[in-house]
Structures are given as structure tokens and as C-alpha cells.
Amino acid sequence: MDKVIIAENLSLSYKEFETIISKASFSIDAGSFVFITGASGSGKSTLLKSLYGAIEPRGGQLVVGGVKMNKISTSKLNFLRRHIGIVFQDYKLIKEWTIEKNVMLPLIISGYTKEVSDPQIQKLLSHVKLTHQAGKYPPELSGGEQQRVAMARALAHNPILILADEPTGNLDEYSSEVIWNLLEGANTQLKTTIVVVTHRVPSSISVPYKHFHIEMGNIHEIA
């Protein structure tokens, strides 16, 4: 099976002598569903950031989607990010843009015209049950709805990998359930690799998954 993420002796830190992740080695198969858990401040979000190139590895090697993340060039990083979908706890929607345009963002970046991307956007908005909100702006929507928009945006360009950082951290039970269903759907129907950073694995999850836990800077897989 192809590996989407390969980490070998990966060390991550913001400052030189404050290692957050120390010499971690792990790999993630294409099409798998992965949870990364750990206590607050354990470094799970830092690990996720390294997967989309927001921080560079301090040591070891990290390969995402076949692209080496060590000393990656801006153009290569942009290319990689055009094949990744990211979901954040705080949604990171563009407030001045309509819901429809927010979902369209990855397609705009990839150079698709509105005519070409429109059917895909309508399909996604219908999938996340937000067709009636298409013309509204993010602040007009509830937290759950905003996260559904972020999910639709993450799926818009058919990414090889979706990275989600505490996607349900700010949501109520019902909205959380909707988000987990959407992630499961992307994994089972589109075979998209999903990596979710969360405090604990939700009990409602019904797809087979891998579980990594971070403790004291070390990553280990939980069977």
C-alpha cells in the first residue's frame, strides 16, 4: 500500500533547545483514517502543522504526498498544499467572502473558472446541507455550520489528504456528529486519507482507523 506520510526520526521544535517531538518514526497509508491524540501541549497540533509545512522539521525526515518537507521551497509547498485539505478548530473562513466563494477557494487557487467549479460547489454545499446559506457570510452562520463550510472547502479540490486539527473542538454534539460523518464519508467514498488531531477518539466512529498517541515528545501507535 502507498504511504502518504513517512516520518523518520522526525524532530520538531519552535526554539532550538525545546524539542516538542523527538525522533518520531511512523507512516500513514493512503486511504487510511488516522487519529493523533495527546494531552494539551503534547505537540499534536505542532505535528499536524509540520504535515502542511507551517513548521519545518528540526531533524530527521518527513515526506508528505511524495514531497520532502525538509527545506521545502515555497513553490513546492504551494503545490503540495493544493493537494491537501485542511480543517481547523477555528474554521479559518474568509469573513469578507460568501460561503459559496469560501468553498470555492481551493478551486480558485487551482485556476478553475466559476463555470467549471460551480457544479462541484453546488454538490458540496448540498452534501453539507448548506445550499440555502450559499450567499451568506461566515459570521452569519453558527459554529457548526461554519465547520461544515470548512469541510466542504477541504473537499472541494478532491485532495489526497485531509488534515483536521480538533475539528469538533468548538462544536456541540449534533454538529460534531455531522463533521465525523462527513470525514468518514470522504474516507470511505473518495478514499481520501484523513489525519485528525483530537483529544480523544470519538466513540461514534464507524470506519477502521489507526490511532497514534503523543506523550513526552514520543509518538506511539495504539493497537
Partner 1 sequence: MKSLKNHISLIVALFTVLFAVQIYVAVDRTIDAYETRLKNDYSIIVVANKALTVDEFKAMDSIIDRSEPIATDQVLQRLKGEMAPKNLELLKLTLPKFYRIYLSRFPTPEEIAKLQKRLEKNSSIQRVEGYAQTHDTVYKLMLLFKDVVQIFSIAIAAVTSLLILKEMRLWQFQHAERMSIMALFGAPVWLRSAVLFRLAIVDAIIATILVCIAFFIFEENGWMDMLLRTVGITIDLFDFLHDGIRSLIIALSVSIILTLTIVIGNDEEE
Contact residues for partner 1, defined by CB under 8 A: 52, 54, 75, 77-82, 84, 86, 92-96, 105-106, 108-109
Q: Measured from the CB of residue 79, what is the shortest distance to partner 1 in angstroms?
A: 7
Q: Measured from the CB of residue 65, what is the shortest distance to partner 1 in angstroms?
A: 12
Comparing CB distances to partner 1, the nearer of 113 and 203 is 113
Q: Measured from the CB of residue 22, what is the shortest distance to partner 1 in angstroms?
A: 25
Are 22 and 71 a contacting pair, CB within 8 Å? no
- Strand 218-222 with 210-215, pairing: antiparallel
Comparing CB distances to partner 1, the nearer of 158 and 204 is 158
- For residue 28, what is the enclosing H or E element? strand 19-29
Beta carbons within 8 Å of 8's beta carbon, 6+ residues apart: 25, 60, 61, 62
Comparing CB distances to partner 1, the nearer of 63 and 205 is 63
Comparing CB distances to partner 1, the nearer of 62 and 219 is 62
Cα(196)–Cα(92) distance, integer angstroms: 16
Enter the DSSP assignment of 42.
Answer: S
Q: Measured from the CB of residue 30, what is the shortest distance to partner 1 in angstroms?
A: 20
